[in-house]
Structure 1
């Protein structure tokens, strides 16, 4: 499957990934996010903005994710933490933008 990613410099990339991967792991492998907490949903350094049309297709945010995002100054209504997105086949074509540093 493929996902579309715009990095912090504005470069667009199409990334190959496997269903079951966490989005954070895919982005971290290319140094596109820091993921300081290693995917434990405690640092928000893997924040992404999900493209319109995709945000409602993702699983709902958990309480910890929603709380972390609520504390960020650069969070948007389409913000998600990549560590909380397990990729599945129905997410083929997912489009995200890596959020700027907080």
Structure 2
């Protein structure tokens, strides 16, 4: 992703822009870094839950499956409306299920 591309996407999602002031580039980069960190933790945790649930299914362990499924659904409910990252008074809403990450090599 080029710098201008992610900056324009971030500007569209920023809630904290007041009186026509644009966020400094450092703030945008910090928001982007926080968003990527949150997204990474979200994807890691989601994959971990799915792996553990699959293992419980393979072992035919209904009790463990039910417990993990409940925990997964409770955890997932926290992210249904996304999350908010903030930096120096600027906030950005992140909805991980709609996120498409493109990495240009």
TM-score interval (norm. to shorter): under 0.3
- What TM-score comes out, normalization by structure 2 length? 0.22
Q: Greater Rg, structure 1 or structure 2?
A: 2
Please state which structure has a larger fraction of its residues in strand: 1
- What TM-score comes out, normalization by structure 1 length? 0.22
